[in-house]
Amino acid sequence: MRRRLAILGSWGLCLLAGAAINVLVAWGFALWDGMVYERIEHDPGEAMILMSGYRAPADWNIRTLVEQRGLGTHNVMITEMVWAGSTLAAMEGSRNRSVVVYEHGWPMRSLRVRGAHDSRATGDGLVRLWRSGIVLNDGSGNAYPVVLPVRPMPIGFAANTLLLGGVVWLVGVVGVGPFALRRVHRRRGGRCEACGYDLDGLDTCPECGSDA
């Protein structure tokens, strides 16, 4: 019974460690500007918007879709503003509403943050209202927004946590890693696995007292 509890406890700690590493990895990609692909669509249809992972409100007049991808990162923006060469331009007489969704994580995207803008509500076309994120830079003043996501994406978060927790278990509990390789090398050489002392056929290490 105690052994089972110990195994369950070790698995629980490894999963907690996996979840923590999962969050740190996603935050690392949020801080790292690693987008390598960008797609801009003018007057995108509903099907194209759905393929990008977002459903626009029925009363919105979507003029532009911007999608960015990179290692550990996927960003999508749908907006009532138009693309004017190298930036978005507000439309006169429009509320110029926008929604941007950032997803980060590896090997699967696991955390998401959502930002929204409504010129009628904020009065400033550069200010975004961020949800489910820790705002380091809100994107005002033409600066690129930096927001750490905190909303889990269920499948990706669970998969990454299990994978990373398994790696922690292999390295820390089972002993698969550089320290395990060192012990194997010492044992094959007739030395103490703990301290490396030459045992010369002894059953107990005279240096540290470990069993041979």
How far is residue 204 from each of residues 69, 180, 212, measured CA to CA in Å?
58, 20, 5
Residue 72 resides in a domain: yes
Residue 67 resides in a domain: yes
Assess whether pLDDT exceeds 50 at residue 125: no
pLDDT band, residue 176 (cuts 50/70/90)? low
Assess whether pLDDT exceeds 60 at residue 122: no
Residue 115: count of CB within 10 angstroms of its CB: 22
Beta-carbon-side half-sphere exposure of residue 149 (alpha carbons within 13 Å):
29
Assess whether pLDDT exceeds 70 at residue 161: yes
Indicate the pTM of the whole model.
0.74
Residue 132 resides in a domain: yes
Structure tokens that stand for 132 in this block: 């489910």
Average confidence (pLDDT) over 58-69: 85
Q: List the single range of 15-19, 121-125, 162-166, 202-206 with lowest mean pLDDT.
A: 121-125
Confidence at residue 208, expressed as pLDDT on a 0 to 100 scale: 79
pLDDT band, residue 175 (cuts 50/70/90)? low
pLDDT tens digit string along 22-54?
999 999 999 987 777 788 888 887 777 776 677
Residue 82 resides in a domain: yes
Nearest-angstrom CA–CA distance, 192 and 212: 6
Residue 209 resides in a domain: no
What are the backbone dihedrals phi and psi of residue 158, each rounded to the nearest 5 degrees, phi first? -65, -45
Confidence at residue 126, expressed as pLDDT on a 0 to 100 scale: 43
Residue 129 resides in a domain: yes
More confident residue, 102 or 205: 102
Residue 191 resides in a domain: no
More confident residue, 181 or 42: 42
pLDDT band, residue 181 (cuts 50/70/90)? low
Residue 62 resides in a domain: yes
* Helix, strand, coil share (%) of the chain residues, nearest 5: 35, 25, 35
Q: Quote the radius of gyration of the chain (alpha carbons, Å).
A: 26
List the domain range (segments joined by +) for residue 62.
28-153
User: Domain tally for the chain?
Assistant: 1
